[in-house]
A and B are shown apart, each in its own frame.
Chain A
Amino acid sequence: MRQITYKIERSDGAKSFVAAYSFPYQPGKTVLWGLITIKETIDPTLAFTASCRSAICGACAVRVNGQALLACETPLDAMLERFGDTLTIGPIQNFKVIRDIVVDWEAKTKHLTESKTWLIPKDEFNALQGCHQSAADFKQINTQASCILCGSCASECAKLTASDQDFLEPFTYSKVWKLVADTRDKSAPERLKAILDKGLWKCMHCVECVTKCPKGLAPGEDIARLRRLSIKLGYTNSIGAGHAIAFRKDIEDTGRLNEIKLTLRSIGLLGSIAKFPLALRLLRRGKLNPFHFPGKVKGHAQIQAILKAVRESDQK
């Protein structure tokens, strides 16, 4: 009989170990079914969280062969086809592990609390009449409202894995954007100002959050929305904003990037001087040419006309 094996990355909170469990294959099951089968028939000490079994509660996010997903909605057959009959299952990354596949949300909910991810209604609303919103306005934030806080986006976030000291979980940025864009909320400027100091420009563009979200959110795009609005409101005095603006400037000026100008515009003269050892290394290998100034590309007038039309369209 065909056997399926889950190699589970277990932990008692201090010591980690891998335990392999094999059980008979059944067609049409989910990854969660396998975990429940192990707990009910092989090892009752295995700890994991799951509740609704309908991809609504967000409790059952796990990593299968390094990919965060909801165990309850993921067909086991699809995973077996993708990775073979032995799957490695572990807790989602970038969370403190309490035991086995159970992770601690405390630090994450603290970030949500600090970012005030709840509606602060405009003064025109009151408890008696409630906070009304048109269907069209709600549609603008409908996707972000679908977040179930499963943690899949945070699990694979390259920036969080590198360091979680100066960055928030992708879902927190999405929740902040939802409130900034919510026509009932009165705190958009304050929210935006606060999020700038919470790593807004440190996202690495790894697109893991967009890829992993089981509910179709795109936190990376929400981060871009927050960045755009921050620039629009005049928060341009940061390396990240300077870097993005420098791209547009180079495209408008000549059509192509000038690496030296881009560095200067992004991190300034002092920052560029600090990069001198790297620059020297590149110069030696012929990778950097300080005398290379790309001229205007063919059709430069066309690009300028297009970007002018973009600006006019944005103003409308």
Chain B
Amino acid sequence: MKYAFFPGCVLEGAAKENYVATTTIAKELGIELVEIDGWTCCGGSHLQDVDELGATAVNARNIALAEKMGMPLLTVCSTCTLMLRKAKANLDNGQLEQINKILSTGGIRYNGTSDITHLLWVLIRDYGLDRLKERVKRPLTGLNVAAYYGCHILRPPGIMNLEDHANPKSLEKIIYALGATSVDFGAKLKCCGFHATYTASEDMIRITGETAKSAVASGANCIVTPCPLCQMSLDMNQPEGQAVVGCNQEMPVLHLSQLVGLALGFSPDQLGMNMHIAGRELTKEIIANM
């Protein structure tokens, strides 16, 4: 299993621990990730607000780089996945000639030979839950996990089509495969508000607090999410969020790669969990007692 790896800007920045965790578990699972040389920012769901054609063109280039490697493109960020898949959908549905003309100025061409996928989808569809179960060294028995999908791994369903957007199960399936328990969590399909960090800051803070509070109420020991932007927002804004909603119990928020990594036997620190803001010690304690 070999993928052209598109880390995305956040894995170079404020979610660099997800880079560590992703590459660590991939190596352990035998999933070969070859980082795309020269990848650029996907536009982060903002570029189309100023330059729609540019958003399609820069992502067409990103995909074309993966095509040259002869591999499907893998990301771990839901927004990157959406931006890349949206560009691919545009290209495959009428914009091919226009964009290839633009790409030709840079001496590159989109052919449509590489699929765009996400770590969550790869674990479910390509790697398989049975194989994953076999690799578990430390079953996460007794760990109650709140599955938080966020938006862009599911919506819009025409482009993000791994599973039913209204009743997804992939995260829960992975949680159980790792030996943990998935709790009933009211916020599992909600938006974290990250993309309005600056424009609707107070709302985003409240959403963070409500999400953490909802996870506490569901009896979760931690939240897990396939999106580093959701993780970042729910983690780093938790002190302010909790203050707004009156919740004094910290709620650790894990990247999907970290939850998998814990079950594969890695320590929280090996997976970069010491870089988290909320509830670092709580997870460490639970894992130490397993």
Chain B 184-219 interface mask (CB, 8 Å, partner A; 1/0): 000001110101101110111011000000000000
Contact partner, A286, options B54, B236, B275, Cβ 8 Å:
B275
Whether, in the assembled complex, A7 has its beta carbon less than 8 Å from a beta carbon of chain B, the answer is no
Known contacts: A202-B200, A285-B275. The answer to whether A251 contacts B43 by CB under 8 A is yes
Interchain CB contact under 8 A, B105 and A306 = yes
What are 22 A-B contacts defined by CB distance under 8 Å? A82-B164, A158-B190, A158-B193, A163-B200, A206-B155, A207-B82, A210-B156, A224-B48, A244-B46, A247-B41, A247-B46, A255-B38, A256-B9, A257-B13, A266-B198, A267-B198, A287-B15, A297-B39, A299-B37, A307-B58, A309-B105, A309-B106
Whether, in the assembled complex, B12 has its beta carbon less than 8 Å from a beta carbon of chain A, the answer is yes
Interchain CB contact under 8 A, B156 and A211 = yes
Identify which of residues 1-43 in chain B touch chain A, using a CB-to-CB cut-off of 8 Å. 9, 12-17, 37-41, 43
Interchain CB contact under 8 A, B152 and A207 = yes
Chain B residues near A228 (CB-CB < 8 A): 48-52
Known contacts: A162-B193, A207-B156, A307-B57. The answer to whether A256 contacts B41 by CB under 8 A is yes
Residue of A whose beta carbon sits closest to that of B280: A285
Chain A residues near B98 (CB-CB < 8 A): 313
Whether, in the assembled complex, B267 has its beta carbon less than 8 Å from a beta carbon of chain A, the answer is no
Contact partner, A255, options B40, B105, B276, Cβ 8 Å:
B40
Q: Majority SS of interface residues in chain A?
A: helix
Query: Which of A282, A303, A310 has the most chain B CB atoms closer than 10 A to its own CB?
Result: A310
Per the CB 8 Å criterion, the residue count for chain B at the interface is 69
Interchain CB contact under 8 A, B57 and A281 = no
Chain B 146-159 interface mask (CB, 8 Å, partner A; 1/0): 00000110111100
Whether, in the assembled complex, B103 has its beta carbon less than 8 Å from a beta carbon of chain A, the answer is yes
CA distance A83 to B108 in the complex (A): 46
> 9 smallest A-B Cβ distances: which pairs?
A302-B106, A162-B203, A158-B191, A298-B38, A206-B191, A207-B155, A299-B38, A255-B40, A257-B9
Chain B residues near A163 (CB-CB < 8 A): 200, 202-203, 206
CA distance A305 to B152 in the complex (A): 30
Contact partner, B58, options A257, A287, A303, Cβ 8 Å:
A303
Residue of B whose beta carbon sits closest to that of A226: B49
Interchain CB contact under 8 A, A201 and B199 = yes
Contact partner, A158, options B46, B157, B164, B207, Cβ 8 Å:
B207
CB proximity of A62 to chain B, nearest CB, Å: 14
Whether, in the assembled complex, A159 has its beta carbon less than 8 Å from a beta carbon of chain B, the answer is yes
- Knowing that A227-B50, A257-B41 are A-B contacts, what are 5 other residue pairs whose CB atoms are under 8 Å apart, sorted by A's residue number? A244-B50, A278-B237, A286-B16, A287-B15, A310-B51
CA distance A204 to B49 in the complex (A): 12
Identify which of residues 96-125 in chain A touch chain B, using a CB-to-CB cut-off of 8 Å. none
Q: Majority SS of interface residues in chain B?
A: loop
CA distance A227 to B84 in the complex (A): 21
Interchain CB contact under 8 A, A292 and B58 = no
Interchain CB contact under 8 A, B239 and A310 = no
Stretch at the interface among A25-33, A126-134, A181-189, A235-243: A235-243
Whether, in the assembled complex, B165 has its beta carbon less than 8 Å from a beta carbon of chain A, the answer is yes
Residues on A close to B: CB < 8 A?
65-67, 82-83, 158-159, 162-163, 166-167, 201-208, 210-211, 218, 224, 227-228, 231, 239-241, 243-245, 247-248, 250-251, 255-257, 259, 266-267, 271, 278, 281-282, 285-288, 292, 294, 297-299, 301-303, 305-310, 313-314
Residue of A whose beta carbon sits closest to that of B103: A306
CA distance A227 to B195 in the complex (A): 15
Known contacts: A224-B52, A282-B236. The answer to whether A310 contacts B102 by CB under 8 A is yes
Residue of B whose beta carbon sits closest to that of A162: B203
CB proximity of A258 to chain B, nearest CB, Å: 8
Contact partner, B236, options A166, A248, A287, Cβ 8 Å:
A287
CB proximity of B205 to chain A, nearest CB, Å: 10
Interchain CB contact under 8 A, B200 and A204 = yes
CA distance A310 to B103 in the complex (A): 9
CB proximity of B161 to chain A, nearest CB, Å: 12
CB proximity of A240 to chain B, nearest CB, Å: 5
Chain B residues near A266 (CB-CB < 8 A): 198
Chain A residues near B50 (CB-CB < 8 A): 227-228, 231, 241, 244-245, 247-248
